[in-house]
């Protein structure tokens, strides 16, 4: 205990401080960069440059040399100096204005001219949201492509369906996959729409009235409108929000996070299904040769990727409430109680969605199907499901429907007892064969029990769905240029 109490903790070590698992374990480098301080504050500087360019174009006394000076110092950010400035000013934007002004003495008088903090803060957030949504679009498209291939390959493979998690009529492995795929198509649409609906806050002033810019342009409202549009264009947007308070409406954040949380529900549902199917040994996620399923039980093949997806998805789903609650308490033109929450919620929503999609892409690249296990389970349940077909076959041979129904009912109950009470195999067909009443159809039982006759239009449905719904969505993306996801995740 004495030695332990004398221990000196090195707080400067990165391992002595909390590090988000989203950064250290799960999310991609590009998404991490999108929400990084480097990207955020260099975007602030780009916005100050865009503002100066637009103000110069509209007649303010801003020199080319001032703009060039700022352009030369977009990325060389002294974060330590900015932190010291923020300690003094207690204001992050003004701290970075001061640091940028030190690097750009010529431009110092016109940096942030007429703007409020939300000019850089909110507009940067909208750029980051736009770029993050685009990254997620391509990742979800990659998952859709993988899953579409899986569905097509297994569209004809009969499998026992489940309703209420109880054996139901047959479907196919590919048709079941289309249920996951359809949900993902809805998510792709929601994320695409969220990105397309994003606008720019633009140059709106402290309470959204553009009063400061009206002063700069001596009451010329048309120039103020032109400034708003020009800054928007220079920043890569085509439209601005028509009205804002000090901030753009936090309803925008809610719409974006809603789309990502909805994606979380899709991922959780799909990966829960995969975990159940892995338990039944019908289907498994990729499992590496050297992978260890359990430290104590070496035979185990745990669905750890699907479990990870479910864990991440639950966190993603929960973030919707944060976004909804934050929007609901933005009094009047704005309050600052959104700031700390948004720093957490927006970044974590994107990083979590990114991490889950990376893992899901990995899973869908290497799903393993076990047809023999699937067939065995069908064989266990199909005799019960074939009862109606047996009755119809007997009627066609001249049998009485009611008499046949009663005989099948009795034999089914006896076979069910063999399975449930004695733990034996389903012997209904043996009982049918042994009953002289069913002699007229005994030779037809093989055809009656062909699983392919119990799957309806499932194969055609898969083909039609892939062609009519999935293919048009994938045509929106150039997936061939994407770097493939490493299977050894």
The answer to whether the CB of 383 falls within 8 A of the CB of 428 is yes
Residue 434, classified by CB atoms within 10 Å of its CB into exposed (0-12), middle (13-18) or buried (19+), is: exposed
Q: Show the CA angle centred on residue 9, arms to residues 8 and 14, nearest 5°.
A: 150
The answer to whether the CB of 106 falls within 8 A of the CB of 66 is yes
**C-alpha distances out from residue 429 to 71, 166, 237, 405, 445, Å:** 81, 21, 68, 15, 8
DSSP of 142-189:
HHHHHHHHHHHHTTT-EEEEEETTEEEEEEEHHHHHHHHHHHHHHHHH
The answer to whether the CB of 346 falls within 8 A of the CB of 253 is yes
Distance CA 251, CA 328 (A): 9
* Pairing mode of beta strands 166-172, 283-284: unpaired
Judge whether 294 counts as a catalytic residue: yes
Beta partners for residue 167, in sequence order? 162
Of 294, 328, 339, 452, catalytic:
294
**C-alpha distances out from residue 306 to 69, 316, 363, Å:** 51, 15, 8
425: left (phi over 0), alpha (psi -120 to 50) or beta: beta
Q: Which of 383, 394, 380 is nearest to 442 (CA)?
A: 394
The answer to whether the CB of 384 falls within 8 A of the CB of 428 is yes
Of 12, 13, 164, 290, catalytic:
164
| Residue 369 burial (CB count, 10 A) | 17
Residue 288: which residues within 8 A CB-CB, separation 6 or more?
488
Distance CA 408, CA 429 (A): 10
| Residue 2 burial (CB count, 10 A) | 5
Judge whether 98 counts as a catalytic residue: no
DSSP 8-state class, residue 477: S
Annotated catalytic sites, by residue? 164, 294
């Amino acid at each position: 205990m004495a030695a332990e109490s004398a221990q000196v903790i090195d707080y400067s070590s990165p391992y002595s401080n909390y590090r988000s698992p989203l950064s250290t374990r799960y999310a991609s480098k590009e998404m991490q960069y999108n929400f990084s301080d480097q990207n955020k504050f260099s975007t602030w500087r780009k916005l100050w440059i865009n503002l100066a360019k637009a103000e110069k174009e509209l007649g303010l006394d801003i020199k080319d040399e001032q703009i060039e000076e700022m352009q030369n110092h977009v990325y060389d950010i002294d974060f330590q100096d900015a932190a010291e400035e923020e300690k003094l000013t207690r204001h992050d934007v003004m701290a970075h204005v001061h640091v940028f002004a030190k690097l750009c003495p010529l431009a110092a008088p016109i940096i942030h001219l007429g703007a409020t903090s939300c000019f850089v803060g909110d507009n940067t957030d909208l750029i980051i949201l736009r770029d993050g949504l685009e990254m997620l679009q391509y990742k979800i498209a990659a998952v859709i492509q993988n899953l579409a291939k899986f569905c097509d390959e297994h569209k004809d493979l009969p499998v026992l369906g489940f309703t209420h998690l109880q054996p139901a009529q047959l479907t196919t492995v590919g048709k079941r996959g289309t249920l996951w795929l359809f949900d993902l198509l809805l998510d792709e649409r929601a994320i695409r729409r969220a990105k397309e609906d994003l606008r720019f806050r633009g140059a709106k002033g402290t309470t959204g009235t553009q009063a400061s810019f009206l002063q700069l342009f001596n009451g010329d409202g048309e120039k103020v409108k032109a400034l708003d549009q020009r800054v928007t264009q220079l920043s890569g947007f085509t439209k601005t929000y028509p009205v804002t308070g000090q901030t753009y409406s936090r309803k925008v954040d809610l719409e974006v996070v809603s789309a990502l949380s909805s994606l979380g529900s899709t991922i959780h549902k799909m990966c829960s299904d995969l975990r159940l199917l892995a338990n039944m040994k019908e289907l498994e996620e990729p499992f590496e040769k050297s992978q260890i399923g359990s430290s104590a039980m070496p035979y185990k093949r745990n669905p750890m990727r699907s479990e990870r997806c479910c864990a991440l998805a639950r966190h993603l789903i929960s973030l919707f409430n944060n976004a909804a609650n934050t929007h609901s308490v933005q009094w009047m033109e704005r309050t600052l109680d959104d700031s700390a929450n948004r720093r957490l919620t927006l970044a974590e929503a994107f990083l979590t969605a990114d991490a889950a999609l990376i893992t899901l892409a990995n899973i869908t690249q290497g799903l393993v199907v076990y047809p023999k296990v699937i067939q065995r389970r069908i064989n266990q349940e199909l005799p019960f499901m074939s009862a109606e077909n047996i009755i119809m076959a007997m009627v066609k041979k001249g049998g009485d429907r009611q008499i046949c129904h009663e005989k099948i009912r009795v034999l089914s109950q006896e076979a069910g007892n063999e399975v449930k009470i004695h733990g034996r195999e389903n012997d209904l067909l043996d009982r049918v064969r042994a009953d002289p009443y069913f002699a007229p159809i005994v030779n037809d039982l093989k055809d009656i029990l062909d699983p392919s006759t119990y799957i309806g239009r499932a194969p055609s449905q898969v083909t039609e769905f892939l062609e009519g719904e999935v293919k048009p969505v994938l045509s929106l993306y150039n997936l061939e240029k994407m770097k493939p996801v490493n299977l050894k995740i």
